[in-house]
């Protein structure tokens, strides 16, 4: 033991007695205290004093009473707390789904993404509907399934939040996929070939897009 | 669920389980509250800081590495927050009730314990110790912490923990002796 320079061996042993009493002493320190207690009658007196101090310290602490409503107030504060970074407070549920997918190996991630696709279709379509959009979810007459589309492969590091925001902003939606190669079918809200080309070009320019290929395109020249 | 260890509960908190942090609150709040109250001399401040400690647990649980006991980790957070609050707040922050709870320095400990029995005297003597000495006494006797855990909580070397404990106990012995109580101090 190498305590303060002004402490004698006896002083050091006195300083260790509280830790002997609270059961945390071990190794050489424990051995030294036990040896002292066994060989020196004064050690037993010192131990009794430490025991009295123990009681005094406990009584002094327990005299302080926490407020009875502490837990209920804490619970309210806790409920007001955002869920920390582990679940990305502030991001949409779509972003969270995407983030979980992104944490998987690339192949598995895209396969898993398929399960989220239809949710995304519904969410996107519903949100677009609220905004006065003119298409419906896949399967309904005149819905996403009937729209022009393009084939898009997203970059592995793409953020669902970015994709979701882009699609909603432009009235587009994931209409199917992914294929084994990770390609999604994106419904394009274009009535003319010119509109189609503009939107597909816009998708290709996004950082989340890896490859974009033309699919069903409006036939008129717009 | 209630058989979960503290570490199990922190693991659940790390996954966003609010019930788990409430269980930890129930287990440790009183000790954290008392620790801060004795650090700051203010129960009002202790109430605020203890709440903050458990909110910090909620926020920081994913970063808990399990190298120390959860109670030690919480007391370390409490110590840091108490010191931060004390730096920000002036003495005037302490209200009258809190001030009344702090040992009256007008009377010497020897005078105030004259008519008390030894147990009551020791309690008052512990309260009257300088903060740095009282803290190691509290952490060892009341919180059951080891030398190394106290060093971790207070961010001081273990040799300093032992030195502070020695002087704390020496002061207690001298004060008791002056008050007419026997003590087996050399």
**Domain ranges, ordered by start, for chain A:** 9-62, 105-214
Domain limits, CATH 1.10.1740.10, in chain B: 6-92
List, in sequence order, every residue forming a beta bridge with A214; answer none if it has no partner: A150
The mean pLDDT value for B163-169 works out to 96
Judged against a pLDDT cut of 90, whether residue B27 lies above it is answered with yes
pLDDT higher at B27 or A159: B27
Put simply, the answer to whether A74 touches B25 (Cβ < 8 Å) is yes
Judged against a pLDDT cut of 60, whether residue A111 lies above it is answered with no
pLDDT, residue A221, reads 57
Least-confidence region, from A46-55, A171-180, B108-117, B146-155: B108-117
The mean pLDDT value for A51-73 works out to 93
* End-to-end alpha carbon distance in chain B: 51
The mean pLDDT value for B165-181 works out to 90
The mean pLDDT value for A68-76 works out to 93
Judged against a pLDDT cut of 90, whether residue B145 lies above it is answered with yes
Q: Are A178 and A152 in contact (CB under 8 A)?
A: no
Domain limits, CATH 1.10.10.10, in chain B: 106-178
Does the structure's ipTM exceed the value 0.95?
no
Least-confidence region, from A17-26, A120-129, A195-204, B81-90: A120-129
pLDDT tier for residue B71 given thresholds of 50, 70 and 90: very high
pLDDT higher at B183 or A202: A202
CATH class of B6-92: mainly alpha
Put simply, the answer to whether B50 touches A70 (Cβ < 8 Å) is yes
pLDDT, residue A53, reads 93
Is the CB of A4 inside 8 Å of chain B's CB atoms?
A: yes
Judged against a pLDDT cut of 90, whether residue B36 lies above it is answered with yes
The mean pLDDT value for A118-127 works out to 43
Q: Between B137, B147, B166, which is nearest A57 by CB?
A: B137
pLDDT, residue A6, reads 67
pLDDT, residue B102, reads 43
Cβ contacts of B142 on chain A, cutoff 8 Å:
57-58, 60-61
The mean pLDDT value for B146-172 works out to 96
pLDDT higher at A132 or B35: B35
Judged against a pLDDT cut of 80, whether residue A83 lies above it is answered with no
Judged against a pLDDT cut of 90, whether residue A37 lies above it is answered with yes
pLDDT, residue A91, reads 43
pLDDT tier for residue B54 given thresholds of 50, 70 and 90: very high
Backbone angles phi, psi at B77, to 5 degrees: -65, -45
Q: Which residues of A76-110 are buried (b: 16+ CB within 10 A; e: fewer)?
A: eebeeeeebeeeeeeeeebbbbbeebbeeeeeebb
C-alpha of B107 from chain center: 25
What percent of chain B lies above the pLDDT cut of 70? 81
List, in sequence order, every residue forming a beta bridge with B13; answer none if it has no partner: none
pLDDT, residue B184, reads 46
Tell the CATH topology of B106-178.
Arc Repressor Mutant, subunit A (1.10.10)
- Rounded Cα gap, residues A212 and A133, in angstroms: 24
pLDDT higher at A133 or B25: B25
Judged against a pLDDT cut of 50, whether residue B115 lies above it is answered with no
pLDDT tier for residue A143 given thresholds of 50, 70 and 90: low
Q: Between A14, A48, A58, which is nearest B142 by CB?
A: A58
Non-local (6+) Cβ contacts of B97 within 8 A are B43
pLDDT, residue A102, reads 47
pLDDT, residue A76, reads 93
A80 to chain B: nearest residue by CA?
B55
pLDDT, residue A15, reads 96
pLDDT, residue B1, reads 47
Put simply, the answer to whether B26 touches A71 (Cβ < 8 Å) is yes
Put simply, the answer to whether A66 touches B50 (Cβ < 8 Å) is yes
Q: Which of residues 120-149 of A touch B (CB under 8 A)?
A: none
C-alpha of A24 from chain center: 37
The mean pLDDT value for B64-74 works out to 93
Tokens of A155: 């970059």
């Amino acid at each position: 033991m190498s305590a303060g320079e002004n402490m004698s061996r006896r002083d050091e042993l006195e300083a260790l007695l509280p830790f002997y009493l609270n059961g945390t002493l071990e190794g050489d320190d424990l051995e030294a205290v036990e040896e002292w207690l066994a060989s020196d009658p004064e050690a037993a007196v010192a131990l009794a004093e430490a025991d009295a101090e123990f009681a005094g310290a406990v009584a002094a602490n327990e005299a302080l009473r926490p407020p009875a409503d502490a837990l209920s107030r804490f619970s309210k504060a806790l409920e007001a707390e955002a869920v920390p970074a582990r679940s990305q407070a502030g991001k949409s549920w779509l972003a969270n789904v995407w983030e979980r997918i992104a944490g998987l190996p690339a192949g598995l991630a895209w396969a898993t993404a398929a399960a989220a696709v239809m949710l995304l279709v519904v969410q996107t379509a519903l949100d677009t509907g609220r905004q006065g959009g003119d298409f419906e979810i896949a399967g309904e007459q005149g819905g996403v399934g009937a729209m022009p589309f393009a084939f898009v492969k997203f970059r592995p590091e793409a953020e669902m939040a970015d994709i979701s925001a882009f699609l909603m902003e432009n009235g587009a939606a994931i209409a199917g996929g992914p294929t084994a190669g990770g390609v999604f079918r994106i419904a394009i809200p274009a009535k003319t070939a010119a509109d189609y080309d503009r939107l597909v070009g816009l998708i290709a320019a996004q950082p989340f897009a890896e490859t974009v290929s033309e699919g069903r395109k409006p036939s008129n020249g717009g | 669920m209630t058989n979960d260890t503290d570490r199990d509960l922190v693991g659940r908190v790390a996954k966003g389980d609010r019930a788990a942090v409430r269980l930890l609150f129930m287990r440790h709040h009183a000790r954290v509250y008392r620790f801060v109250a004795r650090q700051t001399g203010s129960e009002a401040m202790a109430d605020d800081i203890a709440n903050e400690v458990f909110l910090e647990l909620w926020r920081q649980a994913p970063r808990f590495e399990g190298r120390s006991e959860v109670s030690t980790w919480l007391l370390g957070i409490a110590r840091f927050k108490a010191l931060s609050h004390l730096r920000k707040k002036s003495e005037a922050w302490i209200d009258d009730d809190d001030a009344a709870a702090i040992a009256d320095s007008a009377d010497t400990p020897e005078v105030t314990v004259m008519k008390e029995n030894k147990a009551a005297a020791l309690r008052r003597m512990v309260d009257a110790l300088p903060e740095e000495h009282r803290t190691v006494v509290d952490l060892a006797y009341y919180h059951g912490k080891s030398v190394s855990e106290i060093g971790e909580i207070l961010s001081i070397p273990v040799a300093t923990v032992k030195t502070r404990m020695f002087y704390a106990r020496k002061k207690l012995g001298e004060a008791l002796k002056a008050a007419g109580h026997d003590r087996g101090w050399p």
